[in-house]
């Protein structure tokens, strides 16, 4: 396996190993997994991808999400993102699928609004337009590392509220049906997601996020907007121009992404599979109320301090004893 840098400080093209290898060989899977943990975005080129290959590859990384109600592909593993109607014509500007594409053009992280958020997503290009329709990525791990220390301390354990309605309502308040709204109530997560493999912390925010506990709504929205704007400054992003056979995989714990528009008279068809996070991916710590990295650190520090005090005390006693002997 060979890795070629793609973006500014994150993202790599993976050469010499593909989706079928990842699906069928444990060794190949482990190499790809290590690359994902480290680089956050992986590009595989010239893949002969079919739905079953994509699902088998994705399944190696964890449990697959079922597509939620209201999306094309609901109830299957395949989120079908395209602008093609059943009769082969292109859907109109006001169509639900067009509006969904527009909502995906807001910076977001997949499934942060779900009861179980996503570890990673795999997106394959099936039909691509002549130009436009790129997918752009930002590293929220690098964004976190750029924040001043005082800001990091302030935000590390903040609790953020995410709702699918928050991003959809920005595009069209009619985009979500009442049934979808009822099925997707808001969820709360810590603002940071620590990767348990390499201990790197990433900001966990984006377009579904709107509230921060203990902060007024407008203040929270302003802070989230500022953090997103900083994370996604053009010099910090990687904008992927799709070629036939391309497959991208990204770590939703450590990135944000967005789609880009393309010409209305051109077809674009993509298929996404999404892998749910499990506790071993750092999910347990993301839950409000579970011990956070800061708390764990504080406990370790206090325990170390208690040992120091005990040792110092033992030494004092020892000195006193020795002193007495010396006399």
Ligand X SMILES: O=C(O)CCC(=O)C(=O)O
- Token pair of 283 as six digits: 């999910």
Task: Give whichever of 43 and 270 is closer to ligand X, judged by the CB atom.
Answer: 270
10 or 107: CB nearest ligand X: 107
Paired strand residues for 41: 250
- Between 100 and 161, CB nearer to ligand X: 100
Which residue is closest to ligand X by CB? Answer: 259
Question: Is position 121 an interface residue for ligand X (rule: CB under 6 A)?
Answer: yes
270 binding ligand X? (CB under 6 A):
yes
Instruction: Among 97, 104, 139, 292, indicate the residue that binds ligand X (CB under 6 A).
Output: 104
Q: Which two tokens stand for residue 162?
A: 């995410």
Residues 23 and 42: their CA atoms lie apart, in Å, by: 15
Least distance in Å: CB of 218 to Fe ion? 26
**Alpha carbons 142 and 107: distance in angstroms, whole number:** 16
According to the binding rule CB under 6 A, does residue 110 interact with ligand X?
yes
Position 259 contacts ligand X (CB under 6 A): yes
Between 110 and 281, name the residue whose CB sits nearer to Fe ion.
110
For residue 224, state whether it binds ligand X (rule: CB under 6 A).
no
Paired tokens of 277: 């996070």
CB 135 within 8 A of CB 260: yes
> In this structure, is the dihedral angle defined by the CA atoms of residues 82, 86, 91 and 97, taken in order, positive or negative?
negative
Using CA atoms, how far residue 225 sits from 11, 208, 286, in Å, is: 24, 12, 21
Task: Classify 232 as helix, strand or coil.
Answer: coil
Nearer to Fe ion, 110 or 136 (CB): 110
The least CB distance from residue 272 to ligand X, in Å, is 4
Site for ligand X in 157-176 (CB under 6 A): none
Q: What does 202 bind: ligand X, Fe ion, none (CB cut-off 5 to 8 Å by kind)?
A: none
Give the shortest CB-260-to-ligand X separation in angstroms.
7
Residue 30 sits at φ, ψ, to 5 deg, of -65, -35
**In the complex, what is the shortest distance from the CB of residue 111 to Fe ion, in angstroms, rounded to a whole number?**
9
Nearest distance from C-beta of residue 15 to ligand X, angstroms: 23
Comparing CB distances to ligand X, the nearer of 156 and 208 is 208
Enumerate binding residues for Fe ion (CB under 5 A). 110
Give me the residues paired with residue 13 across strands.
4, 43
Distance CA 290, CA 294 (A): 11
135 forms part of the interface with ligand X (CB under 6 A):
yes
Q: Are strands 12-15 and 2-5 parallel, antiparallel or unpaired?
A: antiparallel
Max Cα-Cα span within the chain: 102
Binding footprint of ligand X on the chain (CB under 6 A): 81, 104, 110, 121, 123, 135, 257, 259, 270, 272
């Amino acid at each position: 396996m060979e890795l070629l840098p793609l973006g500014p400080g994150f993202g790599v093209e993976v050469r010499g190993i593909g989706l079928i290898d990842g699906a069928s060989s444990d060794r190949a899977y482990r190499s790809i997994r290590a690359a994902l943990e480290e680089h956050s975005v992986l590009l595989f080129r010239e893949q002969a991808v079919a739905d079953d290959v994509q699902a088998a590859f994705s399944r190696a990384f964890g449990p697959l999400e079922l597509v939620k109600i209201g999306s094309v592909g609901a109830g299957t593993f395949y989120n079908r993102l395209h602008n093609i109607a059943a009769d082969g014509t292109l859907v109109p500007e006001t169509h639900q699928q067009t509006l969904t594409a527009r909502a995906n053009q807001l910076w977001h992280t997949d499934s942060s609004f779900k009861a179980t958020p996503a570890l990673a997503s795999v997106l394959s290009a099936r039909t691509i337009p002549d130009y436009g329709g790129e997918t752009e990525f930002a590293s929220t791990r690098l964004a976190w590392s750029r924040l001043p220390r005082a800001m990091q301390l302030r935000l590390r354990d903040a609790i953020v509220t995410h709702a699918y309605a928050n991003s959809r309502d920005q595009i069209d308040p009619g985009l979500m049906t009442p049934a979808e709204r009822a099925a997707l109530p808001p969820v709360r997560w810590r603002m940071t997601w620590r990767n348990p493999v390499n201990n790197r912390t990433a900001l966990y925010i984006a377009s579904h996020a709107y509230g921060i506990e203990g902060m007024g709504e407008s203040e929270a929205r302003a802070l989230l907007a500022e953090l997103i704007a900083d994370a996604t400054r053009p010099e910090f992003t990687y904008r992927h121009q799709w070629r036939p056979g391309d497959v991208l995989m990204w770590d939703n714990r450590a990135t944000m992404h967005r789609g880009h528009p393309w010409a209305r008279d051109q077809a674009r068809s993509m298929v996404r599979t999404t892998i749910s996070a499990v506790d071993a991916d750092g999910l347990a710590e993301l839950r409000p109320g579970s011990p956070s990295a800061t708390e764990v650190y504080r406990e370790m520090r206090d325990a170390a301090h208690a040992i120091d005090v005990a040792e110092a005390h033992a030494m004092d006693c020892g000195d006193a004893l020795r002193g007495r002997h010396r006399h």
